């Protein structure tokens, strides 16, 4: 699996900001990881010119949708990064795949931090030519983490990565956003989580395709088996995504690699079913429509709050609402109509 090297001519053009979109696309299509890294950086730039170029690239990508997009979720410390490291390495070595990992980075704004953490947890992949690992900031602006991820997925596909993993932070909005970007969601649990199954968010379970108890090795194995039994029962009454039949709970150990090949078999079987029933394509269509609505919402909000008249009066009106001078509904309506 040869990966092209970064063309020095292109590199200097990128540095000077003179590389043309076609040159960017050629570099991506040659499989250059450096070009991919720089293209993703463009999507994160605060400069409008960079973002415009990034959007042009994304719009002209020709391999969009060519990868299997897999979300890995679960509480902090359950072993998501270690699991991706094992499964990714298995896919490269046994299935001749190229693997991209986009890790949602909750420490955006801070440098270092979990970026380093994730890379050290993916010690095998980080050294592998056929893998690319990239933290994606969980930003609030620019359409949130979903926008950044969605562009990074498309660019990774253009660079020839045929499996894209998305590691979530396991909590909050970014987890929900991720469900709108991936084809398959794998949910990892700890061996002793049987007792607090109540605590597992119903919302996310309804989106999950494959459930696995990680760290199922050594003296944890008994607890893992018990959790599996409980989960098997729970999942019978908790509906999953419409296209999935009964979800079986798998046992694995990201550390020893046990159960990883079996888990991939389950993913392949699922992928086959999703393809045969056109669910995969249908799901992606719906995801695009959701994204369109979300972006439109965001743009409407931004244009409203950036309006100078609104900005000028907002604090005063909020004060008036607080001390009962005006009712909240009427105040909102007044402001809204003033905008128009
Ligand atoms: N015993 C055992 N330890 C594991 C296994 N998988 C991961 N670990 C360990 O669990 C700890 C957390 O693993 P990570 O892969 O960083 O977990 P994570 O879910 O990515 O964590 P966050 O990114 O912080 O949410 C590390 O010390 C791993 O070495 C496993 O299968 N068995
Ligand atoms: Mg991690």
What are the per-10-residue average pLDDT scores of the chain (340 residues)? 63 90 95 95 92 96 96 91 97 98 71 53 93 84 70 97 90 70 93 72 78 96 93 82 77 97 96 91 92 89 90 92 96 83
Q: Measure the CA–CA gap between 122 and 99, rounded to whole angstroms.
A: 12
H helix intervals, 113-245: 114-121, 123-126, 144-158, 172-179, 202-205, 221-237
pLDDT of residue 55: 95
**Ligand 1 center–CA 289 separation, angstroms:** 35
Short-list 104, 12, 110, 83, CA closest to 253: 83
pLDDT at 3: 47
Ligand 1 pocket residues where CB is under 6 Å:
74, 76-82, 121, 170, 214-215, 217, 253-255
What is the number of alpha carbons within 13 Å of residue 249 lying toward its C-beta? 22
Cα(154)–Cα(171) distance, integer angstroms: 24
Distance 280 CA to ligand 1 centre (A): 30
Q: Residue 38: what pLDDT? A: 95
Q: How is residue 195 annotated by DSSP?
A: G
73: tokens are 């979720």
Report the C-alpha gap between 292 and 159 in whole angstroms.
25
Domains in the chain, please, with CATH?
1-60 (no CATH), 62-277 (3.40.50.300), 287-339 (1.10.287)
Q: Which of 101, 114, 121, 259 to mutate to test the pocket of ligand 1 (most atoms within 8 A of CB)?
A: 121
79 alpha carbon to ligand 2 midpoint, in Å? 7
CA of 78 to the centre of ligand 1 (A): 5
- Cα 262 off chain centre by: 23
CA distances in angstroms from 42 to 23, 155, 181, 231, listed in the order given: 15, 11, 20, 43
Beta bridge partner(s), residue 135? 103
Task: Tell me which DSSP letter residue 134 carries.
Answer: E
Instruction: State residue 78's pLDDT score.
Output: 93
pLDDT of residue 142: 52
- Cα–Cα distances (Å) from 162 to 31, 101, 127, 136, 338, in that order, read 12, 11, 18, 19, 51
- Predicted pLDDT at 110: 42
pTM for this predicted structure: 0.89
Q: Which run of H or E residues covers position 132? A: strand 131-137
């Amino acid at each position: 699996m040869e990966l092209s090297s970064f063309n020095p001519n292109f590199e200097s053009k990128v540095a000077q900001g003179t590389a043309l979109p076609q040159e960017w696309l050629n570099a991506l299509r040659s499989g250059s990881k450096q070009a991919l890294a720089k293209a993703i950086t463009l999507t994160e730039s605060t400069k409008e010119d960079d973002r415009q170029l990034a959007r042009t690239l994304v719009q002209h990508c020709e391999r969009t949708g060519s990868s299997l997009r897999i979300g890995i979720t679960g509480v902090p410390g359950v072993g998501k990064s270690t699991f991706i490291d094992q499964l990714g390495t298995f896919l490269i070595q046994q299935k001749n795949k190229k693997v991209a990992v986009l890790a949602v980075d909750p420490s955006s704004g801070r440098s270092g931090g979990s970026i380093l953490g994730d890379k050290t947890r993916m010690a095998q992949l980080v050294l592998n030519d056929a893998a690319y690992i990239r933290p994606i900031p969980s930003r609030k602006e620019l359409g949130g983490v979903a926008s950044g991820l969605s562009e990074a997925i498309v660019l990774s596909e253009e660079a020839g990565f045929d499996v894209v993993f998305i590691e979530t932070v396991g909590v909050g909005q970014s987890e929900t956003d991720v469900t709108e970007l991936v084809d398959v969601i794998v949910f990892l649990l700890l061996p002793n989580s049987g007792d607090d199954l109540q605590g597992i968010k119903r919302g996310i379970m309804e989106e999950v395709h494959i459930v696995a108890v990680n760290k199922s090795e050594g003296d944890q194995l008994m607890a893992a088996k018990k959790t599996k039994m409980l989960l098997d029962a729970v999942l019978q009454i908790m509906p999953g995504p419409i296209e999935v039949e009964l979800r079986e709970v798998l046992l694995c150990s990201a550390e020893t690699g046990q159960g990883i090949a079996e888990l991939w078999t389950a993913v392949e079987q699922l992928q086959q079913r999703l393809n045969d029933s056109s669910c995969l394509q249908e799901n992606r269509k719906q995801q695009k429509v959701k994204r369109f609505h979300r972006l439109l919402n965001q743009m409407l909000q931004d244009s409203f709050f950036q309006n100078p008249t609104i900005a000028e009066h907002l604090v005063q009106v909020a004060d008036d609402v607080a001390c009962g001078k005006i009712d909240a509904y009427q105040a909102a309506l007044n402001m809204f109509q003033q905008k128009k």
